[in-house]
Amino acid sequence: MNNWLGATKLASKHDFDTAVEQALVAKCRKQDYDAFGKVVDAYQSRVLGYVRRFVRNEEEALDVTQEVFIRAFQAMAGFDGRASLRSWLFRIAHNLCIDRARKRDRSPVELSVEPTIEGDDAFEFADNRWDPAESLLTDELVQVLEKAVSTMSEKLKTVLLLHDQEDLGYEEIAKVIDVPVGTVKSRLFLARAHVQRYVRAYLDGHMGIDAAPKGVSS
């Protein structure tokens, strides 16, 4: 099992089609290590990339990611297929990150203000994904984007990363973090607004990379 997660070489991200995923899950439920190895190969880099944003260092990120797949293998018999395998793995990762934060007495920050959403479709906005790779103007700007993400609350960061980096839809994210779809939309809106304010303040010369601009708190 320790060989499933490689610390130096990680697979590129891709998803299985429905038929392949169902076949792999069926084999994993029978404790088929080769089948689960394929699951790890497909998703380990994505899970590790997500976990890195919520823990203190690379060693801890690798440890948490390892635990995600150990727990997934142990719980595969209970995977009902209603969610995708991808979103199920992110749910495990999300819960483990929260547990780690609480054990360190660093519980995820609660949002002080969040818009009231009446129904899942009440909070609509353009679906323009934030992607640092596509905004690679300078190394410095990438650092600003990374800093903007690191300074937002855990709740906003979670939704932003799952949607814009991992391409999960609103309903998938809602299942991962166990909130209504409307809440996912509102948090994503707030997360993007936080990034935009942070980058705008930097570009306008009102702050350095390591300083949050006035009015930026999420």
> Do the domain assignments include residue 11?
no
State residue 146's pLDDT score: 86
Which segment of 1-10, 98-107, 132-141, 203-212 scores lowest on mean pLDDT? 1-10
Residue 95 sits in a domain whose CATH number is 1.10.1740.10
State residue 67's pLDDT score: 95
Could you tell me if 120 and 181 are in contact, meaning their C-beta atoms sit under 8 angstroms apart?
yes
Q: Give Dmax over CA atoms of the chain in angstroms.
A: 59
In this predicted model, what pLDDT tens digit does every residue of 13-51 receive, in sequence order? 456 778 888 898 999 989 899 999 999 999 999 999 999
Which segment of 38-47, 58-67, 74-83 scores lowest on mean pLDDT? 74-83
Could you tell me if 79 and 25 are in contact, meaning their C-beta atoms sit under 8 angstroms apart?
yes
- Residues 85, 64 share a domain: yes
> Do the domain assignments include residue 7?
no
The residue with greater pLDDT, 150 or 120, is 150
Q: How many CB atoms lie within 10 A of CB 215?
A: 8
- Residues 59, 137 share a domain: no
User: Tokens representing 197?
Assistant: 């304010």
- Residues 83, 138 share a domain: no
Amino acid letter for position 23: A
Reported confidence tier of residue 78, pLDDT bands at 50, 70, 90: confident
Could you tell me if 1 and 73 are in contact, meaning their C-beta atoms sit under 8 angstroms apart?
yes
Reported confidence tier of residue 70, pLDDT bands at 50, 70, 90: very high
- Residues 197, 118 share a domain: yes
Q: By residue range, what is the domain housing residue 58?
A: 18-103
Asked which of 76, 103, 130 is the last residue of a domain, the reply is 103
DSSP 79: -
- Residues 180, 197 share a domain: yes
Mean pLDDT rounded to a whole number for the chain: 77
Asked which of 72, 103, 134 is the last residue of a domain, the reply is 103
Matching residue, tokens 């973090």: 177
Asked which of 103, 122, 143 is the last residue of a domain, the reply is 103
- Residues 164, 59 share a domain: no
> Do the domain assignments include residue 40?
yes
Report the number of distinct structural domains present in the chain. Answer: 2
- Residues 71, 169 share a domain: no
**Using CA atoms, how far apart are residues 173 and 31, in angstroms rounded to an integer?**
28
Could you tell me if 86 and 176 are in contact, meaning their C-beta atoms sit under 8 angstroms apart?
no
State residue 44's pLDDT score: 93
The residue with greater pLDDT, 189 or 1, is 189
- Residues 216, 129 share a domain: yes
**Using CA atoms, how far apart are residues 121 and 175, in angstroms rounded to an integer?**
17
